[in-house]
Amino acid sequence: MIRNRRDGSPAATLWALLDLGTPESTDWMRGGLCAQTDPEAFFPDAGGSVRAAKAVCAVCPVQLECRRYALERGERFGVWCGLSEFERRALRRSSVDRRVA
């Protein structure tokens, strides 16, 4: 079971789990399909499949906002915008490489 970061209570939704701050800055998240889905799909155990989360992201109406948010914030865990933590890391790395070149 996924626990809320602050007090250890169970998190019923991804929105509750993430507790990301002011509603104004994250209002777009309310339109995300992940907010209506089991959060464990987006934060699988080590070696677990991200296939179910990616399928949800593939049809999500806020995918672009999610990608921007995850990359700007440097999210290190879970599936965001259809990208695993490894895929986001590679994307950030290639972006840095292009700026340096």
Q: What is the pLDDT of residue 97?
A: 56
Own/partner long-range contacts of 75-81 (Cβ < 8 Å, ≥24 apart): 77/43, 78/42, 78/43, 78/53, 79/41, 79/42, 79/43, 79/50, 79/53, 79/54, 80/42, 81/57
pLDDT tens column, 68-99: 999 888 898 999 999 999 999 998 888 765 55
Q: What is the pLDDT of residue 63?
A: 94
Its domain, for residue 24, covers 14-100
Is 6 among the domain residues? no
pLDDT tens column, 43-60: 988 888 999 999 999 999
Is 64 among the domain residues? yes
**Range 19-47 average pLDDT:** 82
User: Structurally, how many domains does the chain consist of?
Assistant: 1
pTM exceeds 0.75 for this model:
no
